Amino acid sequence: MTNRSKMSFEFVDDVSGFRAPNSLVVRLDGRLRRKRDLLRALASGLKFPNYFGCNWDALEECLNDLSWLGQQSGIVLIHKYRPLADVGQRRVYADILRQAQANQRLPLRVVFPRSAQPQMDKAVADASQ
């Protein structure tokens, strides 16, 4: 069982000004309202291997490995907008991110705009049930 108390998302007023020195920063700048678009953006930004299956299981597997990135002090995923129009898909995504934060050998920070906080908090709460 994972320790979910240590997992958290960060919400900031200005994602464009967010900096994380000494970390691999992946900026997810598009609206990414569809699962396919989000997964492709993550695969590109995190340089997922060619075998990435572009589905939730593959995302979970890749986020819990990241060995192909080599030596990193941490990874930061910065979302410019609230991802995914579908509430159920957003819940799955939030749960995968939280699990990856708990299981990660490298620190994984997940940043959203402050305007997305109510929806992401709800996704986290729904995923915890």
What's the domain range around 97?
8-128
Compute the distance between CA of residue 123 and CA of residue 115 in angstroms, rounded to an integer.
14
What's the pLDDT score for residue 7? 55
Per-residue pLDDT at 65:
87
Tokens of 61: 């597997």
Please list the pLDDT of the chain residue by residue as tens digits (129 residues).
333 344 589 999 999 989 988 899 999 999 999 999 999 999 999 999 999 999 999 999 999 888 888 877 899 999 999 999 999 999 999 999 999 999 877 789 999 999 999 999 999 998 887
- Note whether residue 23 is domain-resident: yes
3-state helix, strand, coil in the chain (%, to 5): 45, 15, 40
In this structure, is residue 21 part of a structural domain?
Answer: yes
Tell me if 3 is assigned to some domain: no
Residue 102: φ, ψ to 5°: -75, -35
What is the b/e burial string over 12-24, where b = at least 16 CB atoms within 10 angstroms of the residue's CB?
eeebeebeeeebb
Q: What are phi and psi of 76, to 5 degrees?
A: -125, 125
Task: Count the domains in the chain.
Answer: 1
Has residue 2 been placed in a domain?
A: no
Domain assignment present for residue 119? The answer is: yes
pLDDT at position 4: 39
Q: Tell me what pLDDT residue 2 has.
A: 38
